[in-house]
A and B are shown apart, each in its own frame.
Chain A
């Protein structure tokens, strides 16, 4: 059924991604692909994997943006421009347009925890849901002809056969910088909700009216380069004793 749950879901499982911390290492991207190619649903295929025109389905991708403050300069590392690594995967939206457009009922939002999933046995691979998602969070698997998307690692988070510490999405578990957090955003006392409240967690493209569950923590303010402590200048005046003598001798040769 591709109508959205009538009531707000009691749980809103999702990710909180810290843009201040992400170093753009792509570890989460690789671990996502690794886990999901062997887990839920069809394998995540690649096309022409060893050829010149390689492409494939990924559920998590890292973009890197340069943000230039007003009046700032873009001069590589010496300027005011700021580099922000930006992981992007499905935001498990509350008003998910990808769900309501689906003609088959393959695309659905779970009423209990809000996870947005695709039932691959029902998907006809029409691609309309990928068009409806403003975030580019859905990609067609060209080998299986079905739509793939982040499942929030549903086969990990509820999996009682793996150690409790591993019952987290693969990306969260693997992030070496601790930039990714998983939890229930409907519970105001959860760690993720507190993080969002304290750091001003934000929605992506709120104007699209999708009400994403995933939140992004903005990069912390950075002081302008000009006000940083300057590197010490070369200056030998005031040297005494041995160093004064050495300075004097080196000047002479």
Chain B
């Protein structure tokens, strides 16, 4: 599948934002500190920026409001509805924290639950597509949820080291969540690499009864919407390298950095925060790579008609 930058940025940013919102909603950061106030604003900014980015690939963004209507059948519509509903407790919590330096359990917990539900809806958009077999597994929402939680904990650790709360606890939680997320993702990728395609050129053409089917001529010599959108192919050797980069930058580096910080403790809050910042940047680059591969490596059933 074509790895559209707008969607990669959207899922990465909104994942981080919702993850951070979950941590804030659980009251794991001290609402009286400046760091926590900034964290609240940042979570909302990341979610907002992600959602804006997701409208960039629409052909008619001025009608985007219509996407809220079909929540009965469509996961994309559910995602839209949930993202708007989630803003209510998130803005409430942010207001209470920024203005009143307080934590309220009601909007906090509601925000956490709704944030996770929104991420789940995003994941289900992909999971529900039978035409893309690699995505059509319960491991897809598991990965999205774990990555959101892990990313949120990494950002939260950064703010905790900057004075927002119990930094060692959050750093350890982040490391554990990162490990869990990458274990799930490794299982997801193994599933993708070993799956037996349910659809083949033989089933796609119905000509399997005669023999082996091979594309002889394409409908048109040039690329078209379908080959552009669904025919993206990446060389296996590059995919393997990028996967390595994603695991190291997205998982190994932040895990090691955060565990070291947790053990060494608060040597100096500024140095610790800077170190946590490096862990976060590394994680973001790793996540962008992971999301790029999520699309680039997935094969669409229509490619059975294009020898792809």
Interface residues, chain A, with chain B CB atoms under 8 Å away: 1-3, 19, 24, 29, 53-58, 61-70, 72, 82-84, 86, 88, 97, 99-106, 122-128, 130-136, 139-142, 144-147, 202-209, 216, 218-219
Shortest 5 CB-CB distances between A and B: which pairs?
A125-B59, A145-B59, A61-B219, A136-B302, A103-B77
Residues of B within 8 A of A67 (CB): 205, 207, 210-214
Closest A residue by C-beta to B61: A124
- Is A64 touching B217 in the complex (CB atoms < 8 A)? yes
Q: Which residues of A contact B224 (CB under 8 A)?
A: 55-56, 58, 61, 139
Contacts of B74 in A (CB 8 A): 2, 100-103, 128
| Chain B hits for A142, CB < 8 A | 59, 225
Give every chain B residue within 8 A of A209 (Cβ-Cβ). Answer: 130
Q: Assess whether A218 is in contact with B69, with CB atoms less than 8 Å apart.
A: no
Q: Please give the residue numbers on chain B whose beta carbons come within 8 Å of chain A beta carbons, in ascending order.
A: 1, 57-61, 63-64, 66-70, 72-77, 80, 125, 128-132, 198-199, 201, 203-207, 209-220, 222-226, 228-230, 300-302, 304-306
Interface pairs (9), CB distance under 8 Å: A55-B222, A55-B224, A84-B207, A88-B305, A124-B64, A128-B125, A145-B58, A145-B59, A204-B203
Q: B131 touching A3 by the CB < 8 A rule?
A: no
Contact A63-B69, Cβ < 8 Å, known A103-B80, A209-B130 = no
Task: Please tell me which one of the listed residues B59, B70, B210, B226 contacts residue A219 in the complex, with CB atoms under 8 A apart.
Answer: B210
Q: Which chain A residues lie closer than 8 Å to B59 at the CB level?
A: 123-127, 140-142, 144-147
- CA distance in complex: A135, B203 (Å): 11
* B73:A133 contact, CB within 8 angstroms: no
Contact between B206 and A63, CB atoms less than 8 A apart: no
- CA–CA, A203 and B61, complex, Å: 36
Residue pair B215, A122 in contact (C-beta under 8 Å)? no
Closest chain-A Cβ to B123's Cβ sits at a distance in Å of 14
Count contacts between A and B, CB distance < 8 Å: 208
Given contacts A70-B211, A133-B131, A134-B302, contact A55 B218 (CB under 8 A): no
> In whole Å, how far is B128's beta carbon from the nearest beta carbon of chain A?
7
Residues of B within 8 A of A102 (CB): 70, 73-74, 76
Distance in angstroms from B186 CB to nearest chain A CB is 25
The answer to whether B73 and A97 have CB atoms under 8 Å apart is no
Chain A residue nearest in CB terms to B231: A136
Contact (Cβ within 8 A) A82 B73: no
Using CB atoms, name the residue of chain B closest to A100: B73
> In the assembled complex, how far is the CB of residue B150 from the closest CB belonging to chain A, in whole angstroms?
27
Would A218 and B207 count as touching, CB distance under 8 A?
Answer: yes
Shortest CB–CB separation between residue B298 and chain A, in angstroms? 10
Measured CB to CB, the closest approach of chain B to A72, in angstroms, equals: 6
CB distance from B256 to the nearest CB of A (A): 38
- A104 contacts B301, C-beta separation under 8 Å: no
Query: What A residues does B223 contact at CB under 8 A?
Result: 55
Least CB distance from B257 to A in Å reads 37
Chain A residues, Cβ within 8 Å of B225: 55, 57, 130, 139-140, 142
Q: Does A101 contact B203, Cβ atoms closer than 8 Å?
A: no
In the complex with contacts A97-B130, A128-B125, A218-B207, A122-B63 CB distance below 8 A: yes
Report the minimum CB–CB distance from B2 to chain A (whole Å).
Answer: 10
Contact B76 A63 (CB under 8 A): no
Among B213, B225, B300, the most chain A Cβ lie within 10 Å of the Cβ of: B225
